[in-house]
Amino acid sequence: MSPRDAESLEKDVLDFVRKSEEAALDLGRKWADALAEFVPVEVPLVKDLQKQVFDFVEELLQKQREYAERMLTDTRQAVVGSTKPGATHAPRTTRSSHKVA
């Protein structure tokens, strides 16, 4: 994999994560807006609901991180495997050492 390809992949992954974060934040805003119509802001329950929203978004982002890490690991393994056509995973043999006189 060339450095340019690696940069492109990194850019794509970061773009994916950014879009995912934006979607999660948008969902949180919509959830908060919907709750605001039914619950006055002064009610202590709102703090609990806010915590639940942030906990949910935090868990969602953690899942996205785990997914991205798995994707990168699997991609790396696939790329390493594809760069060695016909390579086997046989154990390496040791060379016998010969002294040069």
Enumerate the domain spans of the chain.
3-80
How far is residue 1 from each of residues 8, 34, 76, 86, measured CA to CA in Å? Answer: 11, 47, 10, 18
pTM of the model: 0.41
E strands along the chain, which residues? none
Which residue in this structure is represented by tokens 């850019």?
Answer: 11
Q: What pLDDT digit, counting tens, does each position of 32-73 carry?
A: 777 777 766 566 677 788 888 889 889 988 998 999 899 889
Q: What pLDDT digit, counting tens, does each position of 72-89 carry?
A: 899 888 888 776 655 555
Question: CA 15 to CA 44: how far, in whole Å?
Answer: 37
